[in-house]
Structure 1
């Protein structure tokens, strides 16, 4: 009995050790996952600009030739006629019902083949008419865009729903549009989009959460706002043939004079296509990259953003703002 009891106690201790080991492993896995989730969120927050809209080459579209007219083909008829021409009666044909019956069948197949050829040609004509209509629409829009027509610019922006979808960029985007000119004004999220706590995994495997320092918190929010500005400009450069894009980010901030929350401009940038396209977007620091462009920003690590006066173009109707072919 003593031996049985000792064995039972040993088995219980072993089970408790395994339970504690499993608990520790689960704790470590949960901590690792929590830190990875936090790091991924931070990375996504400051790399919005790395995911751009597809590029559209409006100059190439404007110069596309009219779709070629379809040719009337007789492939089916030709094959059926060739089969009839090669037909030679034989002893085996007689066994299958007579050569005359087989010849009639081949002749009927020629008529059926002609019907198929006509149907294929009619389908080709229908497809061609659709292609011509699309070509006329696309080239007409492209020609209006490359001449800087404001209504064409607005049409393209309105059709690109991704520019106005609620996402990390913000809650909405407003546009000022004139000939050869776009000024995008995204309403970015407030600084509450930045986590107030930092996460890291201790040597023991446990999760540690500490309050994020003010300087790091403000710099992360600055990078988020700059990334939103880069994303907005990049999407517009990709879908419009413009040489310059103005972007002014506004945030809902407290006006100390009125005591009310107001949409306030905090970053305004004049993006130039040539300089923008030379950026290595996956490697830049978003806020540091603003130095490549004329911009207005008042920021300090201790206080964050302050209100600014948005940039305005020298001349809204300046013809040089169009991208050269």
Structure 2
């Protein structure tokens, strides 16, 4: 199967706990096909539901994560044993031939020789079938043993902190697909000293709605421009929710106890006066602290206070550029 194939097999077994926002999104997508048949008030209610669900999706990114890969358990998996060539069918055929005793009718109609010859012929046929069954078992064992050896090798390399093994596992698991679907991209780096950093390109202005949709008392749709303060607050919560999600996914894939996530977006460079892609959040997530959080109840922005981080934000002006955390600050010296 090979390295990446084995990781994909592990990925397939990593169940995901789907959050309510996603289930609601699927329900709304089913109803979208019926949109044209809806009355005007139904269409208005549907549009508001879709809008509110989109906001919910953006602010709950951190609530969903893959099941952790248990690398240490993989190390303890028992080696598949090579099948033995027993020849049970042939042995049974030999026994049947050796213990053959002609009955009354066989003697009467002189069938003994014919029956003995048939039993002897069955021995060869049984041996052929035994060989076919053994070969099938052996071929299956070879695949199973190869997969076991690959998994063992992967687990050892991951637990030994192999840089390339980490990067390959992150790439193949495709844990950041949902975030990328929202317009964000991720680059993962293993720095000197083994510190893992994920650089997250947010593109928040393309994701956060610029309008607010609501229902009037009459049931009609109301659409108005979103106040800049509300837009900036949503942007902040989305960025922090994505960062926390990335940290959780990395902890699920790898045994590391600390990862850095640096979010990058297009903000004003005060020294040049131009809009440029710059870090707006850099946070060092510790596994123990992340696992202690009540993820269903936290405010993503407030949750950053639990970690060493760099972020400058004002409700009126939004994010300002910051310096990314120095990975060497967190490197473990031996």
Give the Cα separation in 2 of the matches to 1:306 and 1:74. Answer: 76
Which residue is 1:153 aligned to? 166
Counterpart for residue 69 of structure 2? 56
The answer to whether 1:124 aligns with 2:137 is yes
Equivalent pair of 1:27/1:205 in contact (CA under 8 Å) = no
Conservation of the 8 A alpha-carbon contact between 1:35 and 1:200: yes
Summarize deviations over 1:83-117 as a string: whole Å, max 9, x none.
66786655777999946545544443332222222
The 1:262–1:174 alpha-carbon spacing in structure 2 relative to 1, beyond 3 Å, is: farther
Residue in 1 aligned with 2:214? 200
2:288 aligns to what? 274
- SS at 1:166 equivalent: helix
CA shift at 1:37, angstroms?
0.7
The 1-side partners of 2:38 and 2:295 are apart by 38
- The answer (yes or no) to whether the contact 2:67–2:252 under 8 Å persists in 1 is yes
2:123 pairs, out of 102, 106, 110, with 110
Aligned equivalents of 1:94, 1:198: Cα separation in 2: 99
User: Are residue 190 (structure 1) and residue 209 (structure 2) matched?
Assistant: no
* Distance in 1 (alpha carbons) for counterparts of 2:110 and 2:48: 83
| Residue from 16, 29, 47 that aligns with 2:60 | 47
**Any stretches of 5+ residues in structure 1 without a counterpart?**
1-22, 321-325
CA RMSD of aligned residues (A): 3.0
What is residue 167 of structure 1 aligned with on the other side?
181
Indicate conservation of the 8 Å contact 1:153/1:177, yes or no.
no
Q: What residue is the counterpart of 2:225 in the other structure?
A: 211
TM-score, normalised to structure 2, is 0.77
Secondary structure at the counterpart of residue 223 of structure 2: strand
**Matched length:** 298
1:255 is aligned to 269
**Higher mean C-alpha displacement, 257-266 vs 295-304:** 257-266
- Once the two structures are superposed, residues 228-250 of structure 1 have per-residue CA deviations (whole angstroms, 9 ceiling, x without a partner) of 10121111111111001110101
In structure 1, the residue matched to 2:246 is: 232
1:300 aligns to 2:314 (yes or no): yes
User: Any unmatched runs of 5+ in structure 2?
Assistant: 1-35
Partner of 1:35: 48
Specify whether residues 100 and 266 from structure 1 end up closer, same or farther in structure 2 by C-alpha distance, changes over 3 A only: same
Given that 2:167 and 2:188 are in contact with CA atoms closer than 8 Å, whether structure 1 keeps it comes out as: no
Based on CA coordinates, which of the two structures has the bigger radius of gyration?
Answer: 1
Equivalent residue number for residue 256 of structure 2? 242
User: Would the alpha carbon gap of residues 125 and 303 (structure 1) be closer, same or farther in structure 2, given more than 3 Å must change?
Assistant: same
Paired position in structure 2 for 1:134: 147
